[in-house]
Amino acid sequence: MMRGVVRGMARWAVRRAPWRMVIRACVLRSAHARTGDVIAARDHPTKNARMTAHAPCRWNGTLRSMMNICSKSIVVLTALGFAATSGAQPKEPVGPEKPTTKAAKPKPKPRAVEKAAKPPDIEPEAIAALEKMGAFLREQQSFAVKVTSETDHVLDSGQKIQLSASGDLRVRRPDHLRADVTSDRKDRQFFYDGKSFTMYGPRVGFYATVAAPPTIGELADELRNRYALELPMVDLFYWGSEKADNSQIKLATYVGTAMIAGADTDHYAFRQPGLDWQIWIERGARPLPRKLVLTTTDDPARPEHAIEMTWDLKAKHDDSVFVFVPPKDAKKIQIVDLTTQQSAAATKKPARRPR
């Protein structure tokens, strides 16, 4: 009866063991085996323990001896099963008692690094640099600028070609201007003396003269609106003024420093509808534009126009510099007035249709 109870407890303990391990041990007594030999089998995921031997042998001895030995083994299995069921962990070897120390407080985990804030599309420093440059330019009453430029032209095939040009701009505010421009394809001269404006083409020998308003700024507006003409380097007279529409700028950023023709400059980049442009402004007491690059973004070819400028702020100009004297073989022509054409088209009566 007792042996049956012990066997039942052993089976229950083995079934309850979390790792489903069964230790199988058999003590064999035979004529060919020495008394007390113990053979331990490998781990196997079966529930019941079976007795195995290294080699076939005959069982000898009495049933009582085997039952006594097996009973002792089952008691060991039962103890192991209870230990496993209760979740007991194997203890470390007993040694000298270690002094108890207060557990170190875990270090707080560093907070997650926040993502860098997205820089503003329009950096105030970039707009301020334009305004400072414009204010300085308006203070200059007499100056000269030498200009070199590279301009992309897009052929009908879509291919880009680049043409070079150079020019001299001489200014005496508020009402005198002279510009001489030479390119790979044409030469142009512009004269303004406060009363009249003349454009002359030395290669072809033609010139045209029109009455002009009293200031350079007004002249630039009239040439654009009435004759579809642009003064060379006209932006020099708009920067920093109320005519410089900064509301069109959608992106403005500072790029870094650069050396342009021996001058230390700050490089800025701007974007507005249909146009990306960059400007290099001289550092220090003379915030002058030294380089300008314009990129047309609404054209798939993205043509560019690049200008470099060398300044002379001490230049003095006589009146004769701004007066045009036509050569003997020069021929005078008329500049088409767009406003007159538009007025004539508006007042022209439509032709009667034949009945």
The answer to whether residue 41 scores a pLDDT higher than 60 is: no
Q: What percent of the chain has pLDDT over 90?
A: 56
Please state, as a whole number, how many other Cβ atoms lie within 10 Å of the Cβ of residue 105: 6
Name the one residue in this structure whose structure tokens are 């700028």.
249
| Mean pLDDT for the stretch of residues 214-219 | 95
Q: What is the pLDDT of residue 184?
A: 86
The answer to whether residue 169 scores a pLDDT higher than 90 is: yes
Q: What is the pLDDT of residue 275?
A: 96
Q: What is the pLDDT of residue 107?
A: 59
| Mean pLDDT for the stretch of residues 95-105 | 50
φ/ψ of 312, rounded to 5, equals -130, 105
Do 181 and 232 contact (CB within 8 A), yes or no? yes
| Mean pLDDT for the stretch of residues 96-120 | 55
Quickly state the pLDDT bin for 245 (edges 50, 70, 90).
confident
| Mean pLDDT for the stretch of residues 179-195 | 95
The answer to whether residue 135 scores a pLDDT higher than 80 is: yes
| Mean pLDDT for the stretch of residues 148-177 | 95
Mean pLDDT of the chain: 76
| Mean pLDDT for the stretch of residues 314-343 | 91
The answer to whether residue 347 scores a pLDDT higher than 90 is: no
Do 194 and 213 contact (CB within 8 A), yes or no? no
Query: What is the domain partition of the chain in residue ranges?
Result: 2-85, 124-340
Do 179 and 167 contact (CB within 8 A), yes or no? yes
Q: Which of 271, 307, 355, 312 is nearest to 140 (CA)?
A: 312
φ/ψ of 340, rounded to 5, equals -65, -40
Q: What percent of the chain has pLDDT over 70?
A: 61
The answer to whether residue 81 scores a pLDDT higher than 90 is: no
The answer to whether residue 140 scores a pLDDT higher than 80 is: yes
* Residue range 124-340 in CATH 2.50.20.10: yes
Better pLDDT: 180 or 41: 180
Better pLDDT: 330 or 241: 330
The answer to whether residue 215 scores a pLDDT higher than 90 is: yes
Q: What is the pLDDT of residue 340?
A: 76
pLDDT digits (tens, 9 = 90+) for 255-264: 999 999 999 9
- Measured distance CA(14)–CA(42) in Å, rounded: 16
Better pLDDT: 246 or 54: 246
| Mean pLDDT for the stretch of residues 236-246 | 75
Better pLDDT: 26 or 189: 189
Across the beta sheet with 275-282, what order do the strands follow? 251-260, 263-272, 275-282, 289-296, 304-312, 142-154, 160-172, 176-183, 187-192, 196-201, 206-211, 331-332
Q: What is the pLDDT of residue 229?
A: 94
Q: What is the pLDDT of residue 201?
A: 96
Q: What is the pLDDT of residue 148?
A: 97
| Mean pLDDT for the stretch of residues 63-86 | 42
Do 154 and 284 contact (CB within 8 A), yes or no? no
The answer to whether residue 9 scores a pLDDT higher than 60 is: no
- Lowest average pLDDT, out of 54-63, 90-99, 287-296, 328-337, goes to 54-63
Q: What is the pLDDT of residue 238?
A: 83
| Mean pLDDT for the stretch of residues 48-71 | 41
Q: Which of 239, 236, 247 is nearest to 134 (CA)?
A: 239
Q: What is the pLDDT of residue 105?
A: 59
The answer to whether residue 241 scores a pLDDT higher than 80 is: no
